[in-house]
Amino acid sequence: MSISRLARSIAPSPTFALNEQARLMRERGEAVINMGIGEPKNKTPISAVLSSASKLNGGDIKYTPPDGTPSLKKSIICYTEDHYNRIIEPENVIVSSGAKQSIFNILYSILNPQDEVLLFAPYWVSYPEMVKMCYGVPVILTPEDGSFIPRMREIEAAVTSYTKVIILNSPNNPSGAVFPPELVADIVDFCERKKIYLITDDIYHKLVFDGAQAVPAYEFTTKSVDDSMIIAVNGVAKTYGMTGFRIGWVVANRELVELMTNVQSQITSCTSILLQAAAEGALNGMQSVVENLRLTFQNNRDIMMQELKTFNGVRVTKPMGTFYVFPDFRAYSNNSLELAKFLLERAQVVTVPGKEFGMEGHLRLSYAGTVKDISVGIERIKWALDPNSPNEIYIGDRKKVRDWL
Ligand code: PMP
């Protein structure tokens, strides 16, 4: 069969693949704990449900403009003013089917073949694959000091004359690290001087802990959105727990937004009017929804840290945002793919191998689940790996004995 070499080179999303595996195991009656997927457990905010339902009841479900309904764009403009301190025009905004499509559209609209995109490891799994899908070259910068945040001099050294874009994701998936404002300021300054686009993936920007702040890149430029190299990505998936609604957006200079709108109009035409109405409802509704989620994740993070602290040999950096932690399991294995497979088979806990995020030896654990999932999940991982932990455990209603250590 003759198929595209490029398509064949694209890896499946590991988080979705693992999620499917967990679902199938659960269907077989196995007591799986899913620490793999990044998905808040909350119910959809009522304002989002009502807004979408009222649209549905009206029965007028048609195409919208490719860049989004004027009323959702208006809500995004208000959001940008509130959270980015920027006054923007409708021409600076485009709505897409999730932040994922937003990022793809940006890369598709700015990359020429062989252009380089600088990514900081650990990075979100989809960035390198999307860059490749746009015929670009992902260049990975791994911080020398073993931390999750690169130094400015490392960034400068990794940039070449082919570098077209830098992607900054803070708070970061998978590490939960929040980049310090001084570093964000330096990156913005550097990108503006070198005329390199800076995509800031702000999808977790409100899910920060202990008073930390993810200061938006726009804070550090005096340029208008139309003159700036900054392209900001956001959406309702994480902060409102609306992953299934698939609404993300981009704030950028109008020239790029126009290009992206042309591209999107040829691919999906537009995002569903029902889902756009839901996003509008969330943005205009009670914002205590977001604060409740943030507090839940902060509490879950604390429980996760407590559990991991008593885990022999596991090194962990406290996450300051998101709902992930990215501990170093090299005391047990240098091969995160094998380790994750082992934990799934023996302990029935889904984790995501660090290798997928460009950092071997780590596992990403999500604490978006229940408190019970966190403590039972870590107890099982300890049982499977740590010879000092009790060698008998109940998984579901089955007693299991560890006979491999
Ligand atoms: N960026 C990052 C860093 C993410 O973790 C995710 C979701 N896992 C996305 C973008 C995509 O978000 P959406 O569901 O809106 O497509």
Q: Check whether residue 104 and residue 216 sit in a common domain.
A: yes
d(C-alpha 6, C-alpha 114), whole Å: 14
Q: Is ligand 1 within 6 A of the CB of residue 203?
A: yes
The encoded tokens of residue 131 equal 């860059």
**Ligand 1 proximity of 148 Cβ (cutoff 6 Å):** no
The model's pTM is: 0.97
Ligand 1 pocket, 243 CB below 6 A?
yes
Looking at the fold, whether 28 and 177 belong to one and the same domain comes out as no
Q: Is the CB of 264 under 6 A from ligand 1?
A: no
The total domain count for the chain is: 2
Supply the pLDDT for residue 130. Answer: 98
364 touches ligand 1 (CB under 6 Å): no
Domain that includes residue 32, residue range: 5-43+288-401
Are 36 and 67 in the same domain? no
Looking at residue 22, its pLDDT comes to 85
Expressed in angstroms and rounded, the spacing between residue 222 Cα and the centre of ligand 1 is 28
**195, 76: one domain:** yes
By most ligand atoms within 8 Å of CB, the mutation choice from 15, 19, 100 for ligand 1 is: 100
pLDDT in tens, the chain (405 residues): 899 999 999 988 888 888 888 889 989 999 999 999 878 999 999 999 999 999 999 999 999 999 999 999 999 999 999 999 999 999 999 999 999 999 999 999 999 999 999 999 999 999 999 999 999 999 999 999 999 999 999 999 999 999 999 999 999 999 999 999 999 999 999 999 999 999 999 999 999 999 999 999 999 999 999 999 999 999 999 999 999 999 999 999 999 999 999 999 999 999 999 999 999 999 999 999 999 999 999 999 999 999 999 999 999 999 999 999 999 999 999 999 999 999 999 999 999 999 999 999 999 999 999 999 999 999 999 999 999 999 999 999 999 999 998
State if residue 124 touches ligand 1 by the CB under 6 angstroms criterion: yes
Task: Indicate which atom in ligand 1 lies nearest the CA of residue 236.
Answer: 15
Point out the ligand 1 atom lying closest to the alpha carbon of residue 201: 1
**Whether residue 359 sits in one domain with residue 241:** no
Q: Ligand 1 mean position to 16 CA, how many Å? A: 12
Question: Could you tell me if 36 and 20 lie in one domain?
Answer: yes
CATH number for position 373: 3.90.1150.10
| Domain final residue pick, 284, 315, 333 | 284
Pocket test for ligand 1, best of 238, 249, 275, 352 (most atoms within 8 A of CB): 238
Same domain, 79 and 116: yes
How far is the centre of ligand 1, averaged over its atoms, from the C-alpha of 40 (Å)?
Answer: 12
Same domain for 308 and 204: no
98 lines ligand 1 (CB under 6 A): yes
The Cα–Cα gap between 189 and 141 comes to: 19
Residue-level pLDDT at 405: 86
Residue 74 has a pLDDT of 98
- Based on the fold, state whether residues 59 and 170 are members of the same structural domain: yes
Q: Are residues 334 and 259 in the same domain?
A: no
Q: Which of 104, 167, 173 to mutate to test the pocket of ligand 1 (most atoms within 8 A of CB)?
A: 173
Determine if ligand 1 sits within 6 Å of the CB of residue 173: yes
Pocket mutation for ligand 1, best pick of 19, 126, 129, 200 (most atoms within 8 Å of C-beta): 126
